[in-house]
């Protein structure tokens, strides 16, 4: 397996949406929540960046009631951009799978960390947040 750990760097990571439904009482310690996750990737050819947008929805597992919407954006700079990104047609491209998958996993990890920071001291803070999947 190719080692790509020095092939890219995180340029920026930001929260672009965070919406918590207000509730009256704190969840008990260990309460289990459900989730939904979507991820999108875009390419900035001019600046040689790959951009991952990750959206997470936290729901009450028993009822699917939406409790929290969260969205982040992560910018990655590739060291050997032209080696890993191939243009196919206008606005279409191919990224080598190892780079694409690695950046996707890191973007998910960043999202979970930012999400936990946002939820500190909220009624959800005692609940068990699911580990977000690295493969979907």
Structural fold of domain 8-119: Bacterial Protein-export protein SecB (3.10.420)
The three-state secondary structure class of 3 is coil
CA nearest to 23, candidates 125, 98, 109: 125
Q: For 47-104, write each residue's pLDDT tens digit.
A: 888 999 999 999 888 888 899 999 999 999 988 888 888 877 777 788 888 888 888 9
Q: DSSP for 21-75?
A: ---SSPPPTT-BEEEEEEEEEEEETTTTEEEEEEEEEEEETTT--EEEEEEEEEE
* 94-105 pLDDT per residue, tens: 888 888 888 898
What is the pLDDT of the chain when averaged over all its residues? 84
If we measure between CA atoms, which residue out of 79, 68, 73 comes closest to residue 122? Answer: 68
pTM for this predicted structure: 0.84
In sequence order, what are the residues at sequence separation of 6 or more whose Cβ sits closer than 8 angstroms to the Cβ of residue 52? 39, 40, 41, 73, 74, 76, 103, 104, 107
Q: Look at the block and give the residue holding tokens 């260990």.
A: 30
Q: What is the pLDDT of residue 73?
A: 97
């Amino acid at each position: 397996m190719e080692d790509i750990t020095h092939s890219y760097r995180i340029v920026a990571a930001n929260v672009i949406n965070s919406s918590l439904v207000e509730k009256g009482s704190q969840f008990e310690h260990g309460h289990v929540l459900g989730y939904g996750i979507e991820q999108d990737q875009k390419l900035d050819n001019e600046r040689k960046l790959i951009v991952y947008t990750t959206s997470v929805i936290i729901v009450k597992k028993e009822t699917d009631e939406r409790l929290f919407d969260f969205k982040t954006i992560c910018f990655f700079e590739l060291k050997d951009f032209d080696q890993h990104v191939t243009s196919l047609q206008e606005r279409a491209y191919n990224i080598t799978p190892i780079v694409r998958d690695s950046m996707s996993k890191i973007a998910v990890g960043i999202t979970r960390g930012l999400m936990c920071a946002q939820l500190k001291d909220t009624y959800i803070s005692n609940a068990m947040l699911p580990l977000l999947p690295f493969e979907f």
